[in-house]
Structure 1
């Protein structure tokens, strides 16, 4: 691997480490909010007004960033019947074609997700009062992470054949 690809892989590794911690923090905050919502509703008799909406927005971010993180870990569910039957050059060609198709989808997700987020940025969430731009920004952010990790996985896949035994 060249120095550029090594730098890219190190950057990807660092970004995934930061995203992993962000996912952990978001899941913890969401769990605390939901626990407190249930506790306040059934024990105290008066629930929080913002916790359901905040948890929903956190779930959106968790799902899209988590999908990007799962790509790097190889943890996304897939149908790999054909891929498991092919090995060597045909397997790498199939993996490359699948990665290019996925990257095309991620670019569409980034471009249209950002334009959609801008289009509804004037709307305000009812209980939290934040612009709907922020929850919708999860689409291009998740798409960018998925694109980054798919490219990194493709580099790793192609680079496996170049390593000396």
Structure 2
């Protein structure tokens, strides 16, 4: 559990850093547009990429805290024993989805954009870096759900 708490803490700080950078970026966009009369060329693209990272890494953070939106109408009608079983099944399905869709699919996307040598138009950063948050978040969610499975027994 100490390792999980450390990951939570690091991920929380990373999300705070990304959000802070996004706020500064948007403030600069507003300042350059209204006070300098010429909008900055990179801020729109940077805000878009930071939002992607916040959304996907934020999903991993929320999955680790078990605070994601859940419909528990049916589960609450089950006995405690069957609720635990259902939780195990749901965690296994989440692990499978994250492995196949986020980790394998995300790594394929990162690989393809890296091989094709694709760069963002304004910032000229490799798009593989932007897409790297998908497999990274998938790995984090898998870790959290395996940890949940281990500690719910």
In angstroms, what is the RMSD of aligned CA positions?
Answer: 1.2
Structure 2 unaligned blocks of 5 or more: none
Alignment match of 2:130 (pick from 119, 130, 135): 135
- The corresponding residue for 1:113 is 106
Normalised by the size of structure 1, how large is the TM-score? 0.86
Which whole-Å CA distance do the structure 1 matches of 2:57 and 2:107 have between them?
15
Matched residues in 2 for 1:103 and 1:25: separation?
A: 27
Distance 1:62 1:148 in 2: 19
**Distance in 1 between residues matched to 2:19 and 2:13, nearest whole Å:** 10
Query: How far has the Cα of 1:64 moved from its partner?
Result: 0.9
Q: Provide the C-alpha distance between the structure 1 equivalents of 2:136 and 2:66, rounded to a whole number of angstroms.
A: 19
The CA distance in 2 between the partners of 1:136 and 1:99, in whole Å, is 25
Q: Give the 3-state SS of the residue equivalent to 1:44 in structure 2.
A: coil
TM-score (norm 2): 0.93
Cα distance, 1:42 vs structure 2: 1.5
Structure 1 stretch 143-152 or stretch 60-69: which is displaced more?
143-152
- Give a deviation string over 1:129-165, Cα, whole Å, max 9, x none: 111000111110111111111122222322xxxxxxx
Give the Å deviation of 1:82.
Answer: 1.6
Q: How many positions carry a matched residue from both structures? A: 150
SS for the counterpart of 1:80 is: coil
Which position in structure 2 is the counterpart of 1:147?
A: 142
How far residue 39 of structure 1 moved from its aligned partner, in angstroms, is 1.8
Structure 1: tracts of 5 or more residues without a match: 1-8, 159-165
- Paired with 2:27 and 2:152, the residues of 1 have a C-alpha distance of 42
Report whether the alignment pairs 1:123 with 2:115. no
Contact 1:69 1:149 in 2 (8 A): no
Q: Quick check: 111-120 or 145-154, which moved more?
A: 145-154
Are 2:50 and 1:72 equivalent residues in the alignment? no
